[in-house]
Amino acid sequence: MKTVKLVVSYLSNYKKEMVWTIISMVVLVGVQLVTPWIIKTMIGAVTGQAAAVDKNISFDLVTQLAFLALVIYLARAGLRFVRSYAAHVAGWGVVADTRRHIYEHLQKLSLRFYSDKQTGQLMSRTINDSDMFEALIAHAIPDVLVNALMFVGVAAVLVTMNWQLMLMSLLPIPLVIASMRLYAKYVRPAMRARQVELASLNATLNDNLSGIREIKAFTREDVEASRIGGHIDKYRDSLLKALRLMATFDPFVEFTSSLGTIVVIYFGGRLALAGTLPIEDLVAFFLYLDMFYQPVRALSGSWESVQQALAGGDRVGELLAEPCEVRDANDAVVLKQRARGAVAFNDVTFRYDRGDVVLENINLDIPANSVVALVGPTGVGKTTMVSLLPRFYDVTTGSITIDDHDIRQLSLRSLREQISIVLQDVFLFHGTVRENILFGRKEATEEEVMEAAKVANAYEFIVKLPDGFDTLIGERGVKLSGGQKQRLSIARAVLKDAPVLILDEATSSVDTETELLIQQALERLMVGRTTIIIAHRLSTIRNADKIVVLEGKRIIEEGTHQKLMAMEGGLYRHLNEVQLNIEPHMEALKIERQYANAKMMN
């Protein structure tokens, strides 16, 4: 029922198309009901007494009937076109609206939702499951309505011709109804299982294509081919199970509908032999009877489409029912001017769904235009902490403010317009260098794009690319080096020109020369901004205005580099000493490896 309501809600945007569809279907049924009457009249004209008296009368009548048949067939062709086209306009319109709605809903969901979801699964629900609505609206619903109207119309005609014979023709109908109920009970779950397997196949294939370098590097081609093959086989088996049920249903409906014809042959033939039923009426009755059971037989195919669409609709409905945990408040405030950038964490505690507490009682003041660094062992919640600021997640308790505004009372759009983020794992879109920089601010001028590239130390390598700023960089920037991608992400942040800047390990995993270029770009970017830095390489944050040390879900130390280094037994001092002492250990390991290699060669 929920799926039906969902489809109807989308159909409300296509009332005109549906009205034309319904009108054309009603007229089409009426037109089709005339054809057997023409044949009945023709047989009566040829075999009746009027033909024996004056054949010219019969010739004129046959000519008129032939012309009428021509008009009917032309009208039927036109009406079928109107019905088909209008229904397809509504069907694909609903599919487009559904996909747009799903994507908009996905954008509203917090990162908590995506933590255990596969991209391929979500793509399958957006594309494959919603695709079923077109078959429902453009084919199944019109077919069901046409066949229902045809069934009622033919039944009314048959009653006027011979009501006793008509009642006998209805004997197989209860069997058909029972089979349809049974069909719906078993086929819909089978269709749903098929959609689940298709989504799993899409998800696994998406993962493998995204990680094709790793598959090749670790020579996992055979293993992964076998895994994909397993998903293909599971999808095939689930599809065949559904088709097996359908293959059982169709012949059963065909057989039960033929029972009505057998009844009419027996009883109608006896009535004709007894002289109580004219031959032309018996012929017309058979023609109408075929039209009577044609909708019953057609319903099997329509019912199949209905069950497929409902199975897909169930999965779409489940996705749209996912709650938007992070949303605008009813009285959300829109920041209409650039924020100063003063940030405060006030007794903040955060936990993931049904998980342990990640951050506990975090209190931190970050003055406007200051540089604050977050350090600590891996897994203490540094990235989670900065993810709370743009409301990728909402705090469990406590509050975060920017310029004394609780961020939950600000509109998400105006809040995130105040924040730029440069991550360690840079994501670049498939497109040109220019398009990726403009992702920071679409309306920027060409001069602003060039200036952002220069500030990010990216201009020199960009102009050396084959097509300069118009060079296609491939999916996730695969044609660029790690340092080049990082500098493009910095250019993107420069162009956005937000007052609050988050740097999450932005200089890790690059060579020393590239790190220097990136560090220079970041120093320029941090001017006049509130900057929050996450760094494991402590040498890069010694000049920060404040260094915050986290351990065990809490802030345990806070101060400048000099202050923290003066603390005996402090964690920051210990981390610095470890990093200072690691180079001699690395050199010793290098010597040990060289010695082991030489020994093996001897």
Phi, psi (rounded to 5 degrees) for 529: -130, 155
Confidence of residue 330 (pLDDT cuts 50, 70, 90): confident
Question: Over the stretch 332-344, which tens digit does the pLDDT of each residue have?
Answer: 888 888 889 899 9
Cβ-based neighbours of 297, under 8 Å, separated by 6 or more = 253, 254, 257
Ranges 550-554, 587-591, 594-598, most confident: 550-554
Question: Over the stretch 72-126, which tens digit does the pLDDT of each residue have?
Answer: 888 888 888 888 888 888 888 888 888 888 888 888 877 777 766 777 778 877 8
Q: What is the pLDDT, as a whole number, of residue 596? A: 60
C-alpha count within 13 angstroms, C-beta hemisphere, residue 545: 14
- What does the alpha-carbon distance between residue 573 and residue 566 come to, in Å, rounded to a whole number? 8
Closest CA to 512 of 537, 480, 493: 537
Question: Over the stretch 437-458, which tens digit does the pLDDT of each residue have?
Answer: 888 888 888 888 888 888 888 8
Ranges 125-129, 169-173, 589-593, most confident: 125-129
The structure tokens 């009844």 sit at 263
Q: Indicate the residue type of 47.
A: T
Confidence of residue 406 (pLDDT cuts 50, 70, 90): very high
Q: Which residue has the higher pLDDT, 397 or 314?
A: 397
CATH of 333-398+528-602, one of 3.40.640.10, 3.40.50.300, 3.30.70.980, 3.30.420.40: 3.40.50.300
- What does the alpha-carbon distance between residue 441 and residue 484 come to, in Å, rounded to a whole number? 20
The rounded mean pLDDT for the chain is 79
Q: What is the pLDDT, as a whole number, of residue 125? A: 78
Q: Give the pair of three-digit tokens for residue 113.
A: 């939702």
In words, the CATH class of domain 2-320 is mainly alpha
Q: Indicate the residue type of 25.
A: M
Instruction: Determine the average pLDDT of the residues in 470-485.
Output: 80
Residues 311, 128 contacting (CB under 8 angstroms): no
- Which of the residue ranges 103-107, 336-340, 363-367, 590-594 would you say has the lowest mean pLDDT? 590-594
> 397: helix, coil or strand?
strand
Question: Over the stretch 291-313, which tens digit does the pLDDT of each residue have?
Answer: 777 766 666 666 667 767 777 77
What pTM value is reported for the model? 0.66
Ranges 44-48, 476-480, 597-601, most confident: 476-480
Q: What is the pLDDT, as a whole number, of residue 91? A: 84
Confidence of residue 256 (pLDDT cuts 50, 70, 90): confident
CA–CA distance from 467 to each of 359, 434, 463, 473 (Å)?
47, 11, 8, 10
Instruction: Determine the average pLDDT of the residues in 33-51.
Output: 69
C-alpha count within 13 angstroms, C-beta hemisphere, residue 386: 25
Residues belonging to the chain: 602
Domain boundaries, the chain: 2-320, 333-398+528-602
Q: What is the pLDDT, as a whole number, of residue 221? A: 80
Residues 398, 349 contacting (CB under 8 angstroms): yes
Query: If you ran DSSP here, which 8-state letter would residue 394 be given?
Result: -
Confidence of residue 4 (pLDDT cuts 50, 70, 90): low
- What does the alpha-carbon distance between residue 495 and residue 199 come to, in Å, rounded to a whole number? 38
Q: What is the pLDDT, as a whole number, of residue 197? A: 83
Query: If you ran DSSP here, which 8-state letter would residue 409 be given?
Result: G
SS3 content of the chain, % helix, strand, coil (to 5): 70, 10, 20
Question: Over the stretch 164-181, which tens digit does the pLDDT of each residue have?
Answer: 777 777 777 777 777 767
Q: Which residue has the higher pLDDT, 437 or 33?
A: 437
- What does the alpha-carbon distance between residue 1 and residue 55 come to, in Å, rounded to a whole number? 61
The rounded Cα 399 to chain-centroid distance in angstroms is 33
Query: If you ran DSSP here, which 8-state letter would residue 13 be given?
Result: G
Tell me whether strands 397-402 and 343-351 are parallel, antiparallel or unpaired.
antiparallel
- What does the alpha-carbon distance between residue 78 and residue 387 come to, in Å, rounded to a whole number? 59
pLDDT at residue 53 tops 50: no
The H or E element containing residue 137 is: none
- Which of the residue ranges 26-40, 385-399, 464-478, 563-577 would you say has the lowest mean pLDDT? 26-40
Confidence of residue 51 (pLDDT cuts 50, 70, 90): very low
- What does the alpha-carbon distance between residue 56 and residue 471 come to, in Å, rounded to a whole number? 83
Confidence of residue 265 (pLDDT cuts 50, 70, 90): confident
pLDDT at residue 593 tops 70: no
> 348: helix, coil or strand?
strand
Q: Give the pair of three-digit tokens for residue 207.
A: 């993962």
Q: What is the pLDDT, as a whole number, of residue 587? A: 54
pLDDT at residue 290 tops 80: no
Instruction: Determine the average pLDDT of the residues in 387-404.
Output: 90
